Amino acid sequence: MANARITRHFATIEQGRWGKRQVHYRRTGSGPLLILLHQSPMSSRDLIPTMQRWHRHFTCIAPDTPGYGQSDALGVGSAEMGDFADAVIEFLDAIKVRKAAFYGYHTGAMMAAQVAAKYPERVHAVASNGYVIPTREERDDLLANYLPPFTPSWDGAHLAWLWSRMREQVIFFPWYAKGAAERMHINLPPPAALQAGLVEVLRAGDNYRVAYRAAFAMPSAEVLQQIKVPALITAASTDPTSRYLVRATDPPRNVTVRECATPDETFELCFAHLRKARTSAAPKLAPTRPIAGRLWQQMLDVRGGQLRIRRNADAPGRTVVVLHDAAGSADTVASLAASFIGHRPVVAIDLPGHGESDSTLPRGAVTVAAYARALRSALDALGIHECDIVGVWGGGLVGLELAHLAPRRVRRLVLAGPLWFDRALQAELREHYAPELKVEAHGGHLLQAWHFLRDQGLFWPWYNTTREGIIRGEPNVDTQMVQRRVLEVMRSPAWRAAYRAHFSYPVRARLRDVKVATLLAAAEWDPMREHALAAAQTHAQFPFCALARDPADWGPTLLRFLDA
């Protein structure tokens, strides 16, 4: 049986309790509406198998909890489950849903039950798979020990801790207790599955604790008594939450509590419960609404899948398109893109296979030309017929190639950190620059990634750790920046192929022939600065511009060229 196509969308909440924010969600299927709520610290990505299982019977909509996946956080360090229930209702209002059935797993099970208790008029029925009812002592212990802060450290040690933490979570419950009573008797997931969970924590950052804490702090026994709609509370015997089902004593007549032998049985039980409930039709999809004064997110439908973009259109004029490097996304150039807000419309695109975009390029065709054609298709979908492009490192090559393919499309081009190399250096970089980060059972690939990316700010090329390779000036090794880059290589399947594509591109020939007004630029810390200066000396028609250290300050400087 073929899997259903799951699409991704952003709903904009314009006047909510926590201000303007966006909720990312997945959607698939047909039939009556079912809202699915995920566990912490995951995102709606974790519910894809469930959505595939039920798509023939429901229109499944699974939002990312605020602060997880791609949804904006509530902006608070601590929240109660009632707050998350309010946030769910704001999401329903944003997608124009009056009433729905709910399925929740673990943290999502708690959230779904809280929505049912607090907003019965908005809920047809609820199925909670993995509901937690701790004693006061257990709750205090969980709140004190389960959720340590996640703070990146300069040496990458937080990644080694996180890998062990994700592994321990499927060996013991709670993960910090090591006795026989806490040992879980389940298969240890393969390293790739642990890696997927770890990437979700990297997406959430320290915010991973907020919904988790709300689930543990929730007065769950009392909430069960408050539910007035048809409700099912269940868990498989292999699920550590099954131990709590015996504490759901004397539930209301509309609440069924039942343990199942296997996870499959829990799904079948939840399915039967939800199919019996009254239903509502699914809402029609609506375009994503903008948010003034900031970059907002949108999923763009193109051939082969969807691309994620960040954009702002508060100002008139020609759109500035900002393109990221191989180990990057729209997030790594967000501060640069934001520096154009109020001056020009701006769009930052996750190129195919990067960030949150699908790998839409033809199989085996990861080239700069293929990226340029994908960019042209994205601009077509956005209705952008001419633009200025600011590309960082390899992103500049994509802009240069688009200027070659469609010179009337690109009015002005900025190459920030141009990869202006001769063939010998290109060949060396193709061989050594993008190491294979094979996911290891011991998690060593994470420290490999950390030091590879951190050394990019210390040596050029990063693997030349001799005295001659030292990058002069202030080192560019900000811990949060390195952390963002680690997330990019962990979540982006195409980053290694993209580097090889960049180092295979005939940049010198293309730059010699380009007919578009072009600016070469670099910050003092950028090892591409000397290459930019050499290119400017070779091509007198292309001026060089020195950039500030912080990309958030580049916009006004670059606008002097873009507006000329």
Residue 1 has pLDDT above 80, yes or no: no
* Among 304, 110, 101, 136, CA closest to 211: 110
pLDDT of residue 435: 96
Q: Kindly report the number of other CB atoms within 10 A of residue 540's CB atom.
A: 7
d(CA 275, CA 57): 8
Q: What is the mean pLDDT of residues 53-81?
A: 97
Q: In terms of C-beta density within 10 A (0-12 exposed, 13-18 middle, 19 or more buried), how is residue 222 classed? A: exposed
Per-residue pLDDT band for 2 (boundaries 50, 70, 90) equals low
Q: Is 104 helix (H, G, I), strand (E, B) or coil?
A: strand
pLDDT of residue 362: 87
* pLDDT tens by residue, 185-219: 999 999 999 999 999 999 999 999 999 999 999 99
* pLDDT tens by residue, 502-550: 999 999 999 999 999 999 999 999 999 999 999 999 999 999 999 999 9
pLDDT of residue 365: 87
pLDDT of residue 363: 82
C-alpha separations of 239 from 36, 88, 541 in Å: 19, 26, 67
**Structural domain spans, the chain:** 7-148+210-276, 296-424+504-562
Q: Is 134 helix (H, G, I), strand (E, B) or coil?
A: coil
d(CA 257, CA 253): 10
Q: What are the beta bridge partners of residue 7?
A: 27
Backbone angles phi, psi at 366, to 5 degrees: -90, 95
Residue with tokens 């910090």: 176
* pLDDT tens by residue, 386-440: 999 999 999 999 999 999 999 999 999 999 999 999 999 999 999 999 999 999 9
d(CA 397, CA 405): 12
The sheet with strand 387-392 has its strands ordered as 296-302, 305-312, 346-349, 319-323, 387-392, 410-416, 517-523, 544-547
* Among 173, 291, 284, CA closest to 235: 173
* Among 64, 52, 50, CA closest to 103: 50
* Among 251, 301, 306, 277, CA closest to 125: 277
C-alpha separations of 307 from 216, 332, 351 in Å: 36, 16, 7
* pLDDT tens by residue, 125-146: 999 999 999 999 999 999 999 9
H/E element, 167: helix 157-168
Contact residues for 320 (Cβ-Cβ < 8 A; gap 6+): 337, 340, 344, 345, 346, 347, 387, 388, 389, 390, 562
* Among 24, 12, 29, 21, CA closest to 101: 29
Q: Percentage of residues in the chain with pLDDT exceeding 70?
A: 100
Token representation of residue 374: 């994908």
d(CA 554, CA 558): 6
pLDDT of residue 415: 98
d(CA 408, CA 352): 23
**CATH 3.55.50.30 is held by the domain 296-424+504-562:** no
Q: Which amino acid is present at 433?
A: Y
* Among 511, 540, 558, 542, CA closest to 401: 511
CB pairs under 8 A, 24+ apart, for 404-408? 404/372, 404/510, 404/513, 404/514, 405/369, 405/372, 405/373, 405/376, 406/376, 407/514, 407/515, 407/516
Fold agreement (7-148+210-276, 296-424+504-562): yes
**CATH 1.20.1250.20 is held by the domain 7-148+210-276:** no
Q: Which amino acid is present at 326?
A: A
* pLDDT tens by residue, 282-338: 999 999 999 999 999 999 999 999 999 999 999 999 999 999 999 999 999 999 999
Q: Which amino acid is present at 492?
A: S
Q: Is 296 helix (H, G, I), strand (E, B) or coil?
A: strand
The sheet with strand 33-37 has its strands ordered as 7-13, 21-29, 59-63, 33-37, 100-105, 123-129, 231-236, 255-260
* Among 233, 320, 316, 558, CA closest to 416: 558
pTM: 0.96
User: What average pLDDT does the structure give for the chain?
Assistant: 96
Residue 450 has pLDDT above 90, yes or no: yes
* pLDDT tens by residue, 225-241: 999 999 999 999 999 99
d(CA 94, CA 23): 9
